[in-house]
C-alpha cells in the first residue's frame, strides 16, 4: 500500500534539513572562533601602526601589558570588542547564507514576558558570584597577569564622557546582539529539542568562545542563565535583554563605584546568589510550562501563579 503524502510534508522535511546538525554547529562555532582570532590580529596590526606613527616601538606596545592600549585604553578596547562582535555577525551571516536556515528557526523572536525577563535577570545576577569564583579558581591555576576582568576594569576606569557611552555600546549592546544571535539562536537550534542539551551545549561553547581561561570558566556559568532565559520563554529577546542589562551593569558599576578586582573567594555572596538563582529558576520553570502549554494548545495545562 502506498501512503499518501500531504503537501505540507516536503516543506516540513525541507525545514528540518536546514537546521544545523550538531557537527555543523561545532563547525560554525570553530569558524566564528577563527574570525575572532583574525580580528584580534587586525586590531594588533592597527595598534602597532598607530604606535609607529607616534614614534613608539610597536613591539613594546604589543608585548608590554602596562604600555599596550589594547589592555589599558578605553577607546582601543571598545573598538576591539566591536570588531570582534562584527566578525561574529559576519560569520553568522555567512552560515545563514550557506545553510539557508529559516530565520524563524535560527532566531525565534517574540514578545518577552515581564516575568520571564525578571526570572532571567535573577538567575544571571544570582549566578554572577559563582561565575567570579570559577574565574578566580582558574586565575590561581593559570596565574595570568592580564585577564578579561583586568581589561574591563582598565577600560571602565579610563573612560569618560562619550567614552563611557562607547564602552557600554561595545561591551553591552554588541555582545547582547551578536553573541545571543549566535549562541542562543543558530547554535541552540540543533539541541533545543532536548532541554538539557539546549541548556548545556551552547553554554559550554559560549564559554570556550571567550578563549581567555578565567573568562571561559565564568561565562559558562553565565551562559547557562542566558540559555535558560531563551529556552524557557521561547524568544531570543529575553536572553538579549538579560545579557544587555548584565553587561551594562558590570561596566557602569566598575566605572562609577570603588569596586575592584579582588583575588579572593567569599562564601556569603555565593550563598545569596544561589538563593536569587533558585528564585529565578522557579520563575523561568513556570514560564517554560506556559510556553509548552501554549504550543500544545492546552489551556487547561496552563500553570497558576503559584505552581
Task: State pTM to two decimals.
Answer: 0.89
Residue 10 within a domain: no
pLDDT recorded at residue 123? 98
pLDDT recorded at residue 12? 45
pLDDT recorded at residue 28? 96
Q: Domain tally for the chain?
A: 1
Residue 293 within a domain: yes
- Please, what is the end-to-end C-alpha distance for the chain in angstroms? 49
Residue 13 within a domain: no
Q: Please state the length of the chain.
A: 307
Query: Which stretches of the chain drop beneath a pLDDT of 50?
Result: 1-17, 307
Distance CA 78, CA 60 (A): 21
pLDDT recorded at residue 27? 96
pLDDT, tens only, 27-37: 999 999 999 99
Distance CA 40, CA 235 (A): 31
Rounded to an integer, what is the distance from CA 36 to the centroid of its chain? 14
Residue 16 within a domain: no
Residue 181 within a domain: yes
Distance CA 32, CA 30 (A): 5
Residue 157 within a domain: yes
pLDDT recorded at residue 9? 42
pLDDT recorded at residue 54? 81
Per the structure, the complete domain to which residue 210 belongs is given by: 21-301
Residue 74 within a domain: yes
In 143-266, which residue ranges form alpha helices assigned H by DSSP? 148-158, 162-168, 174-179, 195-209, 213-233, 236-256
Residue 4 within a domain: no
298 Cβ neighbours under 8 A, 6+ residues apart:
none
Amino acid at each position: 500500500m502506498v501512503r499518501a503524502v500531504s503537501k505540507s510534508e516536503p516543506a516540513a522535511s525541507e525545514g528540518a534539513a536546514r537546521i544545523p546538525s550538531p557537527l555543523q554547529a561545532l563547525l560554525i562555532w570553530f569558524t566564528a572562533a577563527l574570525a575572532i582570532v583574525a580580528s584580534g590580529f587586525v586590531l594588533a596590526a592597527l595598534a602597532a601602526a598607530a604606535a609607529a606613527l607616534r614614534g613608539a616601538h610597536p613591539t613594546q606596545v604589543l608585548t608590554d601589558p602596562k604600555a599596550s592600549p589594547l589592555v589599558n585604553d578605553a577607546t582601543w578596547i571598545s573598538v576591539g570588542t566591536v570588531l570582534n562582535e562584527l566578525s561574529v555577525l559576519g560569520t553568522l551571516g555567512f552560515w545563514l547564507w550557506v545553510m539557508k536556515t529559516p530565520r524563524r528557526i535560527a532566531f525565534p523572536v517574540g514578545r518577552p514576558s515581564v516575568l520571564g525577563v525578571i526570572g532571567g535577570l535573577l538567575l544571571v545576577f544570582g549566578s554572577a558570584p559563582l561565575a567570579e569564583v570559577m574565574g578566580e579558581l582558574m586565575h590561581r591555576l593559570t596565574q595570568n597577569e592580564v585577564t578579561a576582568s583586568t581589561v574591563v576594569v582598565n577600560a571602565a576606569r579610563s573612560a569618560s564622557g562619550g567614552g563611557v557611552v562607547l564602552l557600554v555600546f561595545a561591551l553591552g549592546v554588541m555582545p547582547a546582539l551578536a553573541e545571543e544571535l549566535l549562541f542562543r539562536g543558530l547554535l541552540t537550534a540543533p539541541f533545543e529539542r532536548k532541554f538539557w542539551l539546549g541548556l548545556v551545549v551552547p553554554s559550554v561553547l559560549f564559554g570556550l568562545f571567550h578563549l581567555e581561561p578565567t573568562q571561559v570558566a565564568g561565562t559558562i556559568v553565565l551562559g547557562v542563565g542566558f540559555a535558560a532565559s531563551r529556552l524557557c520563554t521561547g524568544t531570543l529577546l529575553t536572553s538579549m535583554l538579560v545579557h544587555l542589562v548584565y553587561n551594562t551593569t558590570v561596566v557602569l558599576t566598575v566605572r562609577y563605584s570603588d569596586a575592584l578586582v579582588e583575588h579572593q573567594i567569599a562564601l556569603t555572596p555565593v550563598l545569596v546568589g544561589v538563593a536569587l538563582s533558585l528564585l529565578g529558576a522557579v520563575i523561568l520553570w513556570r514560564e517554560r510550562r506556559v510556553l509548552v502549554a501554549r504550543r500544545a494548545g492546552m489551556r487547561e495545562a496552563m500553570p497558576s501563579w503559584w505552581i
